[in-house]
Amino acid sequence: MTVTLRHNESLELNVVEYQGVVSLAELKALAAYNARNPETLARDTLNIITPRTHFSATLGELDTLFAYYRTLFAPLKLEIMRRAAWVCHSAAAEPHIRHWLAGDIRKAMSSSVRLFGGIAEAGDWLMLRPAEIEAIRRGEGFTDLARFTAAAPAR
């Protein structure tokens, strides 16, 4: 239904929020945005799967998308490993998230990734202070970079 990409300049952090029924088209639109804006790929990212979200893409389609992301990261010369924290509040989406995280992300995407039970745990791992974690919960200091929906896939 909706994938939203936000950025907080002072935290140097992206937040990607997934809501509702997330289609392959929306996931591809996010990938296309990242291809056009490679600086987004170098930032630490907190991915939040909201309650009742599920993915309509098959696991095979996710594998194809994973391979595409590998090509996006290949030309980047990241000097440090980026971090991508995932918080999944939806049992229906969890198999897709676990499948995505089972890939060789460290090598393919120069990323250290982990799945967390909540934003506070993820924020600790991302080395954020308690006040910064609360700012994330409130959406404070974030700028919407892009929103992808089945009806309107890009901004």
28 sits in which H/E element: helix 24-36
- Distances in Å between the alpha carbon of 103 and those of 19, 36, 64, 73, 92? 23, 24, 12, 14, 20
What's the rounded mean pLDDT across residues 11-29?
91
All structural domains of the chain: 2-149 (3.30.750)
| Structure confidence at residue 153 as a pLDDT band (50, 70, 90) | very low
pLDDT at 84: 87
Contact 23, 64 (CB under 8 A): no
Q: Strands, DSSP E only, in the chain?
A: 2-8, 13-19, 21-22, 44-49, 54-55, 82-88, 111-116, 143-149
Per residue in 89-99, pLDDT (tens digit) is: 999 999 988 88
pLDDT tens-digit profile of 63-83?
A: 887 777 777 766 666 555 578
Share of the chain above pLDDT 90, in %: 48
Q: Which pLDDT belongs to residue 105?
A: 55
Q: What's residue 112's pLDDT?
A: 73
Q: How confident is the model at residue 120 (pLDDT cuts 50, 70, 90)?
A: very high
